[in-house]
Amino acid sequence: MPKFKTLDDLDLAGKTVLVRVDFNVPMSGGKITDLTRIERAAPTIRDLTRKGAKVLLLSHFGRPKGKPNLEMSLQPLVPAIAKVLGQDVAFAADCVGAAAQEAVKKLAPGGIVLLENLRFHAGEEANDPEFSQALATLGDTYVNDAFSAAHRAHASTEGIARLLPAAAGRLMQAELEHLAAALEQPRRPVVAVVGGAKISSKLDLLGNLVARVDMLVIGGGMANTFLNAVGVKVGRSLCEHDMAGTAKEILEKAKAAGCDVVLPTDAVVAAEFAAGAASEAVSVKAVPADKMILDVGPATAEHLARRLADCATLVWNGPLGAFEIPPFDAATNSVAQAAAKLTKAGKLLTVAGGGDTVAALAHAGVLEDFSYVSTAGGAFLEWLEGKTLPGVKALEDAA
């Protein structure tokens, strides 16, 4: 497991703590439409305030490209953050300089201030040493609770961690511990479920997983590319015909590593991807030339649910079908529900994340039943690909 300090390793009373959070939340009409990222950061913030620390919240929002842009100000988030935390939250009109320094001076122990958008300064994304130093001068200690931004070597995720005593927040800690349990020191057998539209966007992920898991289940549009590679005609289905050679190479690598790759044996097909479209389940060897595969078939879904019962660890990334429109959500729903049942029975560790995975599991009604569901997106995918995440590496180096 990665070696890093946590909040339990820090002397926090009376200290000013810079906390990197990810409050890049979805907004509509000036209001936050999903509070998940704020709610997930709350345990760390509350832990710090209870211990008498002064808390400075650092976050990016949108893509202002290194210049102030009032449309991407963090100030409108203050009421929602205060409501989630149950205490007042101050706001500083800048994240460095006089405005930030003045906000820190006014802060009492246990107080919280949200600093303005980090990306209003070009030095943030450039990981500029001077900008990192300007941030560091505001506090005594640094806490990174933004795993979702840990794949970026930015000043607030990497640079500052090398200038102050640094530790992982509760959310970062939970993420890293669950990821380690899923792939670094897993209970075996380990199964990975990988869906999504194209294998071209997940080559590194698939290449890493076949060497680390015992069974790889391939669904979604990318399953069509693998079926095509092994000589199965997929009609009008989404398929990267030019990736047939690559798909074969992945299958050969899996075989050499002793990884069992499971492809659909039946599929749900329709003439169009639309609500109410007539559909039917057919063998993958009998897909009509004028129809497209939009979901894994019921026999395959039932087979996968049975296979899960023999596994100890599941890593899930991507839906098995076009879950947004019924009945093409059936396989994702049934397999996810089978995994959730095994999780609740204590028989399966389930870790999921990336892309449409969170939405698919929420649609299946099992979001709260998996062992851990990451909302980190790109960082979760890069971890699945076996890449070093700069924000995590900086915490490890600081331990």
Same fold across 7-173 and 186-384: yes
Residues designated catalytic? 37, 198, 355, 378
What are the residue boundaries of the structural domains of the chain, listed by start? 7-173, 186-384
The pTM assigned to this predicted structure is 0.89
Q: How far apart are CA 357 and CA 109, in angstroms?
A: 40
Contact of 286 with 234, CB cutoff 8 Å:
no
- Band (pLDDT 50/70/90 cuts) for residue 1 is very low
For 125-180, the pLDDT digits (tens) are 999 999 999 999 999 999 999 999 999 999 999 999 999 999 999 999 999 999 88
Q: 3-state DSSP helix/strand/coil percent for the chain, to nearest 5? A: 40, 15, 40
- Band (pLDDT 50/70/90 cuts) for residue 29 is confident
Q: How far apart are CA 8 and CA 279, in angstroms?
A: 55
Residue 354 is predicted with a pLDDT of 81
% the chain with pLDDT above 70: 99
- Average confidence (pLDDT) over 207-211: 94
Classify domain 186-384 at the CATH class level. alpha beta
CATH 3.40.50.1000 matches 7-173: no
Residue 376 is predicted with a pLDDT of 87
Query: Does pLDDT of 374 surpass 60?
Result: yes
Q: Is 361 exposed, middle or buried (0-12, 13-18, 19+ CB in 10 A)?
A: buried
Number of helical H runs and strand E runs in the chain: 14, 17
- Band (pLDDT 50/70/90 cuts) for residue 196 is confident
